[in-house]
Amino acid sequence: MIKNMKIRKSLILGYGVTVVVSVIIIIASIILMTIQKGQYTSILDNYVGANDIVSECRINYNIAGRSLRDAVLGGNVTNLDNALAKVNELKEDLAALESKYPLKDRTELNAFVDTVEAWEIEAEKIVNVARGNTEESRTQAAALIASDCSPRLQDAAAKGDALRVEAQAAHVFMISEEAEPADTVVLELMQGDARTPVTLTEDSKAKALAGTATLTADGPALLVGHRLPQIWSDTTEGVLEGGRQTLEAKGKKVLKVGKYEKFAKTLINPSADDTLYKKVLGQDLEIVLLTNPADVKPGDEIKAEVLLNGKPVKAPLGLTYDGYSTEMDTYMTKVETGADGMATLKVTKPGLWMLRTEYTEALSGGDADKRNMRATYVFPVK
């Protein structure tokens, strides 16, 4: 019996130790889970939160810039109030970003904040000038947008690695009229030899397709766009979308049918030691810059080439900048390229500039009588 009691005590002691150890492990696991939960919460609140605020900042300064430009060019004072409201939201965003920023090294944060705050100062100055609501004040405000506001907005966008981009359908540069169907537009971000697709969705407020392009490396990048062909027909009832067979089946009288296609390039972060700006991409209709925008100053000339299926072609070439005019299809300069496809044009001020060309070729035996192609090249000048 004594022997059995000793065994009983041993069993109780053994089970007791196991139970105690198990309880300790459970308690430790709960503590670790609580700590991990706190760390995950910290990541969500700080790292992810800070990233969301940066994205919100980019959206707000783009909306503010758009409202400011539209107000100055169109004379709509309401848009000035919208621009100022977004500027005030930016101030709140920056304060929130500084409080949530998770890294000890705040060099990048300070650079971003300084750039955005510098743009805010320029934007507020332009609002004050434009409130004069006279032709003279609007002209002065437009000059400030081109010389001060637009370059600072470009600097702000270049500081981050995720850029809001828009695919616009416009007859006035940078003032979109409608969003193209998303399934007809292909957009890629090009850095070096890497091409990254950019997903676009309709932004009804911007009247455009919008998306986010994330830079995969430092240095220059190209946004490369292609609006796929669309078929439109001239009929006795006006211009209608669709081909001859489709429209005639609906009882329409078709006069002629056209296939319309668009190609686009936008240069980001031009650099004096890089050649991406002049890279030939093989677009059916393509504008190639032969002068590096990083080396261009107001008053300098730029040289460009127009290629059709990779070969030089004689074609019209227009040059304009953001804020030049609100008139449709109006350009500061229009020239004709030579047989070598080349032309020289002058840049007059800092800002966002656009080259545009167009080419129409006759078709036979297909679904259209002609093919109209349009190409643009957007680039900044500081």
Could you state, in order of their start, the residue ranges of all structural domains in the chain?
42-160, 164-381
Judged against a pLDDT cut of 80, whether residue 73 lies above it is answered with no
Strands (E), 192-341: 194-197, 201-203, 208-214, 221-235, 238-241, 254-268, 285-289, 301-308, 311-312, 316-321, 333-336
- The whole-number average pLDDT for the span 156-181 is 79
pLDDT tens per residue across span 201-233 = 998 878 899 998 888 888 899 999 999 999 999
Write out the H or E segment, with its range, that includes residue 236. none
Judged against a pLDDT cut of 50, whether residue 156 lies above it is answered with no
CA distance 308 to 314: 9
Model confidence at 158, pLDDT cuts 50, 70, 90, reads very low
CA distance 149 to 115: 11
**Over the chain, what is the mean pLDDT?**
84
What are the CA-CA distances from residue 189 to residues 185, 221, 222, 236 (Å)?
13, 7, 6, 42
CATH of 42-160, one of 1.20.120, 1.10.287, 3.10.50, 3.40.1130: 1.20.120
pLDDT tens per residue across span 180-192 = 999 999 999 999 8
How far from each other are the two terminal CA atoms of the chain, in whole angstroms?
99
Q: Which two tokens stand for residue 198?
A: 């950019």
Q: Which two tokens stand for residue 237?
A: 């009832």
Give me the pLDDT at residue 42, please: 54
Give me the pLDDT at residue 244, please: 92
CA distance 113 to 92: 12
More reliable by pLDDT, 107 or 198: 198
More reliable by pLDDT, 28 or 295: 295
More reliable by pLDDT, 355 or 102: 355
- The whole-number average pLDDT for the span 341-347 is 97
Pairing of strands 342-346, 333-336: unpaired
